[in-house]
Structure 1
Amino acid sequence: MQTSDFYFELPEELIAQRPSGERGNDKLMFLNKTTGQVEHHKMEDLVDLVAPGTLMIFNDSRVRRSRCYGIKTTSGREQEFMFLNPIGDGSSWNTMVKGAKKVKVGNEYKFTDGSIGVIPEVSEGSEFRTIKFDKPLDEAWFERNGHIPLPPYIRREDDDTDSERYQTVYARETGSAAAPTAGLHFTEPLLQKLKDKGIELAWVTLHVGLGTFLPVREDNIEDHKMHTEYYTVSEETAAKVAKAKAEGRPVLAVGTTSVRTLESASDENGRLIPGTRGTNIFMYPGYKFKVVDQMFTNFHTPESTLIMLVSAFAGKENIMSAYSQAVENKYRFFSYGDCMLIK
């Protein structure tokens, strides 16, 4: 299957540059994955579209202020770093950098609070670099030095609004370099309405790395390699999934990160194994889902691993048709855009 099979025309004005005026005030498309039929709703209708007894799984990862700017000590040139994950004791970090060819071994960079990071090694041709400090970095360091890591298709600097709106209301475990954006639509009152209807809620943690959002550069999608991301599934959540499956109740994953966690953490029989592990799972048409029965998600970029994932779940023709209707009906796309329920 070719990467170009997942291309669609998207007018620039439909790429959401800011969140809606009020959290949860978004359009919701309902896609029947069996028939391909589409219905147009609002986010507030979600309670009516989810059956009592459904188990909804949310990703509670919190976005780190991981976009940081260092000044090269020898030239004064500013360099942007996207901090992805710590190495060892946390004094060294994997980062993604712009203009990677200029970021060479031995380069020193001074950050806002005066701390110095050094490039100890380089993988030639890669957009990733390791940067090392003289002591481990904590979350206070990122609060002093970092910015909210808005994705590149949002063509503005982050502001105070993003500090709140680029986090889910249930975010707890800090570690993501990008938001699990499907969850941005949920409010505390909506979560309560879901519970009041008899819908069960559970949580997993997957810290989103930018590898998820890197473009697929291979013509044949099977040649694409995913970068590793780390997830945690608690014993409580594993038990809830097992009980729901035994009772014939559907499991609804909120966001592709929850989907990737549930499918990565399951054995061949669909039994969830609790614990913390890494995953580089890549789901595209032909993948057989073992745990996830329903999905809530945003609208994804053309030719991305995420549109391939939802195509695996709902069928490529159904997804491409739904996306065409979304464009026609002026849905807002990507992180701050509208959403879709697939069941």
Structure 2
Amino acid sequence: MHPKTISIADYTYNLPNERIAAYPLEKRDESKLLVYKDNVIKEDVYKNIAAHLPEKSLLVFNNTKVIPARIVFQKSTGGIIEIFCLEPYEENKEYNAVMQKTKSIQWKCMIGGASKWKEGSLEKKLKIENEEVIINVRLVEKLSDAYVTEFSWQPVHFSFVEIIQQIGETPLPPYIKRKPEEGDKERYQTIYALYQGSVAAPTAGLHFTKEIFSSLVQKNIATDYATLHVGAGTFKPVKAALMEGHEMHSEWIDVTMHTIKNMIANVNHTVVAVGTTSLRTIESLYWLGVKTILYPEIIPADLTIYQWDVYESPLSESTYQVEEALSSLLQWMEKNSKEHLITSTQILIAPGYQFRIAKAIITNFHQPNSTLLLLVAAAVGNYWKNIYNYALQNDFRFLSYGDGSLLFIG
């Protein structure tokens, strides 16, 4: 089955508003955990997750860090303009370098109250390290789905990450119907978050604690990290009747040679993606490797994954083993002098997808009619309905601040 023919109406369920978690639990690892394997559902809590994982498993986490991407400005006339930073609009797509930029920077943004802001710049004053800072933002360009804005500031020696940390708010998802609070700064962030760039949290990782990591070590379960900067597109609703009419969001990934080598070393063990973003990343690595086999001279700008790549020839005809594909990707990186693979992926994982690397996924419960629910259905087949019905009937909390699941693929 080609995912283009999927009707999104077949991937819905009734999610009452009261089942959407507005706040996280006080203790991260006390969240409920649904475990699914071989058509059997069990129930536990996250702090016991190691007991449900095979020894010598490899867990791959997304170590992206959420930036306070929602910024509110007030016009001199009193009107409120809300700017939601989506992604840098810069030639250099290396997020660490972008976030360290000084003086000025351009971002692709969504703007609330854009009709009230037709010209001129907005200004905000604040203090950073006892220095007064004046921040200006102006409209540069209107895109089909967003705006380009340019932030500039004085004094110019501050970095953009220092600026946004002072003026921005935690970008809670649109289905959490409340304003961000002080506690969200810490709780809407994984404890291992490292690289600034996401506008939404990789929420499966929110449940993990130091105690859980200790329990993984005790069971000889390895961990590694990749980076996928989560965009607002993760909440993009599917409005088309068939998936052929839906444009999948693209997100930036950053994976080291060390992580790819670790996956090759664990190819015969259980590789577990912690979250849908980690899953999209590690599965994309296989297909990127196949591209380097098929097109050995491919340039870095062209080594990316588009929405339908993996379902259409020549990639769809791939019979390459994981080790072959990843080894080829490593050789390409060495040839191009790259310690880090930085590229984008638009991969759509939906029923009909054949998993290549991941053997299980740890993930929260997702919205009806979403591409994330399609991903779950790709992993567990039509049994997703039983899993979600069980969660609804047994008081599991849903979405970003809710409970989660460990789903074995197959």
The equivalent residue for 2:302 is none
Q: TM-score, normalised by structure 1?
A: 0.93
The equivalent residue for 2:52 is 49
State the 1:110 CA deviation: 2.5
The equivalent residue for 1:148 is 170
Deviates more, 1:332-341 or 1:278-287: 278-287
State the 1:183 CA deviation: 0.2
Structure 1 residues 101 and 220: CA distance shift in structure 2, 3 A: farther
State the 1:133 CA deviation: 2.4
Provide the alpha-carbon RMSD of the alignment. 1.7
What CA distance in whole angstroms lies between the structure 1 residues aligned with 2:120 and 2:36? 51
The equivalent residue for 1:339 is 404
| Among 4, 12, 16, the residue aligned to 2:9 | 4
**Which structure: larger Rg?**
2
The equivalent residue for 1:322 is 387
User: Residue type matched to 1:20 in 2?
Assistant: L
Q: Is the 8 A contact 1:15 1:334 kept in 2?
A: yes
Q: Is the 8 A contact 2:83 2:109 kept in 1?
A: yes
Q: Is the 8 A contact 1:118 1:132 kept in 2?
A: yes
Q: Is the 8 A contact 1:27 1:331 kept in 2?
A: yes
State the 1:98 CA deviation: 3.0
Identical positions, percent: 35
Deviates more, 1:293-302 or 1:267-276: 267-276
User: Residue type matched to 1:92 in 2?
Assistant: Q
| Among 358, 361, 367, the residue aligned to 1:292 | 358
Q: CA offsets, 1:186-207, max 9 Å, x none?
A: 0011111101210010000001
The equivalent residue for 1:218 is 240
| Among 139, 150, 153, the residue aligned to 1:119 | 139
Q: TM-score, normalised by structure 2?
A: 0.78
The equivalent residue for 1:83 is 85
What CA distance in whole angstroms lies between the structure 1 residues aligned with 2:114 and 2:235? 18
What CA distance in whole angstroms lies between the structure 1 residues aligned with 2:124 and 2:384? 44
Q: Is the 8 A contact 2:80 2:113 kept in 1?
A: no
Q: Is the 8 A contact 1:31 1:38 kept in 2?
A: yes
User: Residue type matched to 1:14 in 2?
Assistant: R
What CA distance in whole angstroms lies between the structure 2 residues aligned with 1:265 and 1:112? 44
State the 1:287 CA deviation: 1.2
- The alignment covers a number of residue pairs equal to 334
Q: Is the 8 A contact 1:26 1:337 kept in 2?
A: yes
Q: Is the 8 A contact 1:69 1:111 kept in 2?
A: no
| Among 260, 275, 284, the residue aligned to 1:264 | 284
State yes or no: 1:251 paired with 2:271: yes
Moved >4 Å (runs of 4+): 99-104
Q: CA offsets, 1:156-195, max 9 Å, x none?
A: 1111211111111111111100000000000011111101
User: Residue type matched to 1:98 in 2?
Assistant: G
Structure 1 residues 102 and 324: CA distance shift in structure 2, 3 A: farther
| Among 214, 225, 236, the residue aligned to 1:203 | 225
Q: Is the 8 A contact 1:206 1:258 kept in 2?
A: yes
| Among 97, 109, 133, the residue aligned to 2:122 | 109
What CA distance in whole angstroms lies between the structure 2 residues aligned with 1:107 and 1:289? 50
What CA distance in whole angstroms lies between the structure 1 residues aligned with 2:67 and 2:185? 10
Structure 1 residues 303 and 20: CA distance shift in structure 2, 3 A: same
Choose between structure 1 and 2: higher helix proportion.
2
Q: Is the 8 A contact 1:112 1:145 kept in 2?
A: no
Q: Is the 8 A contact 2:31 2:402 kept in 1?
A: yes
User: Residue type matched to 2:122 in 1?
Assistant: Y
Q: CA offsets, 1:280-325, max 9 Å, x none?
A: 111111111111111100000111111111111111x211221011
Structure 1 unaligned spans of 5+: none
